[in-house]
């Protein structure tokens, strides 16, 4: 049954994404954690990604985490996905492909039908793309490294906290 856990988690996220809603007041409240440029960047994400990021952020706050770079990374960790209008089936291809056939999404992004290439490339490279956007919006080097997922030993604990919150939200 443990092998089904990733599939169950993805199915839950799929259902939540279909009914994702973000209230304007929720975005306005982020000004305590994000600069105006970073709030604008957050607002470029699709509502499913905003909702998920708010869930990750809320989980970290409830657990007592207050590191500003960790909280910014929680809110912006999926912002790279805003570079393409990812449809639900793009997300399914990337998520399930990476889980069950890791080379398939990369192959499709490089060799698949033209309509699939950019959305899949964005889905696969969103941490790197999001880190670039976060840096442009004024995020610190630490927050950018957490978003990119490319960090040294000094950020390993925070990266593990963010990854866990991301996978459980």
Asked whether residue 29 is assigned to any structural domain, the reply reads yes
Residue 95: the pLDDT is 79
Task: Output DSSP code: residue 112.
Answer: S
Residue 78: the pLDDT is 96
Residue 136: the pLDDT is 98
CB contact set of 161 (below 8 Å; sequence gap of 6+): 60, 65, 70
Q: How many domains does the chain have?
A: 1
Q: pTM value?
A: 0.85
Residue 65: the pLDDT is 98
Residue 66: the pLDDT is 97
Asked whether residue 104 is assigned to any structural domain, the reply reads no
Q: Which two tokens stand for residue 4?
A: 């089904």
Question: How far, in whole angstroms, is CA 14 from its chain's centroid?
Answer: 14
Asked whether residue 107 is assigned to any structural domain, the reply reads no
What's the rounded Cα separation, in Å, for the pair 79 and 96?
20
Asked whether residue 114 is assigned to any structural domain, the reply reads no
Alpha-helix residue ranges (DSSP H) falling in the chain: 5-18, 24-28, 36-43, 47-62, 68-76, 88-100, 103-111, 114-136, 141-148, 156-168
For the chain, 169 residues long, the average pLDDT of each consecutive 10-residue run is: 61 66 90 97 95 96 98 98 87 79 86 89 94 98 96 93 93
What's the rounded Cα separation, in Å, for the pair 60 and 166?
10
- With H, G, I as helix, E, B as strand and everything else as coil, classify residue 6: helix
Asked whether residue 85 is assigned to any structural domain, the reply reads yes
What's the rounded Cα separation, in Å, for the pair 127 and 146?
9
Asked whether residue 119 is assigned to any structural domain, the reply reads no
Question: How far, in whole angstroms, is CA 41 from its chain's centroid?
Answer: 13
Range of the domain at 155: 2-90+126-168
Asked whether residue 74 is assigned to any structural domain, the reply reads yes
Q: Phi and psi for 66 in degrees, rounded to 5?
A: -130, 5
Asked whether residue 12 is assigned to any structural domain, the reply reads yes
């Amino acid at each position: 049954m443990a092998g089904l856990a990733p599939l169950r988690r993805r199915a839950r996220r799929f259902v939540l994404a279909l009914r994702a809603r973000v209230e304007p007041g929720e975005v306005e409240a982020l000004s305590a954690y994000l600069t105006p440029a970073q709030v604008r960047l957050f607002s470029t994400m699709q509502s499913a990604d905003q909702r998920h990021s708010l869930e990750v952020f809320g989980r970290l706050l409830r657990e007592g985490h207050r590191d500003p770079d960790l909280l910014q990374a929680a809110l912006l960790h999926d912002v790279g996905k805003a570079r393409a209008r990812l449809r639900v089936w793009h997300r399914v291809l990337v998520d399930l492909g990476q889980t069950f056939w890791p080379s398939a999404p990369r192959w499709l992004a490089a060799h698949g039908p033209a309509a699939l290439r950019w959305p899949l490339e964005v889905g696969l490279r969103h941490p790197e793309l999001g880190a670039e956007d976060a840096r442009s919006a004024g995020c610190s080097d630490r927050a950018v490294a957490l978003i990119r997922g490319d960090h040294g030993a000094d950020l390993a604990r925070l990266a593990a906290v963010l990854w866990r919150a991301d996978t459980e939200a």
